């Protein structure tokens, strides 16, 4: 399901920022579509430590992406919680994954985000252990050394049996699935994708029943999604239940 939310439609906006136990809400933003004035508004909403982190990036492009990604995250959470974006407070796990500092809410909100090229995606859920990943497909990345770092030996056999013209898409589909699962655990790059065994022999991609690593021995919800040409994405949630994905595009008027 895809929602197009207009600021003038109050009921639609309230519905968009209402999380339910049976769904995962995904938000998508194109950084090229944002104005300078909106960028300044996002920058002004950051905390002192976030401003320090933004300033630490050597490249201006990386600094801008961080400001946009974190600023939009604050505005989205503020809309869910009916707070000011600058009042949102984060804590971080040992791997640096941000979490919302929870008050005594009946339904705490959990989230994750990912950025690639010009796109930023966000996932929100009422259940813990959620991860999302998006990648812009670049052909020069798919070379034997990288494939060996991402795919297990069994996965490589299936991967190389595919027609060469389908291998680029296949590789990135596997990549985003594994990355979303790793990010759901909150381990980041410290967790090897080789520990995750996927069944890539058929669609949709799923966790293999023969996987040996304990974090993924239990039931997980794993779902791929597409945004626009050249991108692939996946979202993962530790749950035994199917979840509906609700997609919404972020526009500046959403927050005015």
Domain-wise residue ranges, the chain: 1-127+241-256, 129-238
* CATH no., domain 1-127+241-256: 3.90.470.20
Query: What's the pTM value of the predicted model, to 2 decimals?
Result: 0.92
Contact 100, 77 (CB under 8 A): yes
Is the per-residue pLDDT at 212 higher than 60?
no
Is the per-residue pLDDT at 195 higher than 50?
yes
88 token code pair: 């949102």
At 217, the pLDDT band (50, 70, 90 cuts) reads low
What is the predicted pLDDT for the residue at 5? 46
In our burial notation (b when 16+ CB lie closer than 10 A, e otherwise), range 233-244 reads bbbbbbbeeebe
- CATH fold of the domain at 129-238: Ribosomal Protein L22; Chain A (3.90.470)
Q: What is the mean pLDDT of residues 29-46?
A: 95
What is the predicted pLDDT for the residue at 108? 85
Q: What is the mean pLDDT of residues 87-107?
A: 80
Among 187, 119, 199, residue whose Cα is nearest residue 158: 199
Contact 88, 77 (CB under 8 A): yes
> How confident is the prediction for the chain on average, in pLDDT?
90
Equal fold, 1-127+241-256 vs 129-238: yes
Residue indicated by tokens 């959990």:
110
pLDDT, tens only, 127-181: 989 999 999 999 999 999 999 999 999 999 999 999 999 999 999 999 999 999 9
Is the per-residue pLDDT at 4 higher than 50?
no
Q: Which residue has the higher pLDDT, 100 or 27?
A: 27
C-alpha span between 37 and 32 (Å, rounded): 13
Q: What is the mean pLDDT of residues 224-238?
A: 94
CA angle (54, 59, 60) in 5-degree steps = 65
pLDDT > 70 in the chain, percent: 90
């Amino acid at each position: 399901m895809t929602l197009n939310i207009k600021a003038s439609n109050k009921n639609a906006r309230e519905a968009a920022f209402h999380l339910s136990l049976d769904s995962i809400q995904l938000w998508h933003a194109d950084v090229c579509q944002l104005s300078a004035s909106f960028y300044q508004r996002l920058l002004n909403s950051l905390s002192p430590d976030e401003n320090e982190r933004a300033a630490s990036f050597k490249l201006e492009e990386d600094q801008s992406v961080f400001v946009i990604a974190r600023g939009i995250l604050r505005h989205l959470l503020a809309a869910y919680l009916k707070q000011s974006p600058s009042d949102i407070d984060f804590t971080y796990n040992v791997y640096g994954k941000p979490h919302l500092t929870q008050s005594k809410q009946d339904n705490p909100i959990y989230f994750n985000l990912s950025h690639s090229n010009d796109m930023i995606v966000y996932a929100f859920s009422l259940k813990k252990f959620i991860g999302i990943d998006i990648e812009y497909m670049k052909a020069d990345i798919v070379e034997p050394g990288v494939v060996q770092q991402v795919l297990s030996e069994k996965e490589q056999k299936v991967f190389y049996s595919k027609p060469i013209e389908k291998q680029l898409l296949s590789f990135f589909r596997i990549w985003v699935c594994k990355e979303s699962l790793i990010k759901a655990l909150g381990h980041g790059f410290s967790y090897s994708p080789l520990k995750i065994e996927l069944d890539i022999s058929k669609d949709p991609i799923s966790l293999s029943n023969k996987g040996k690593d304990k974090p993924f021995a239990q039931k997980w919800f794993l779902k791929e999604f597409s945004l626009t040409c050249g991108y692939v994405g996946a979202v993962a949630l530790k749950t035994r239940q199917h979840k509906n994905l609700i997609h919404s595009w972020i526009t500046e008027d959403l927050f005015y």
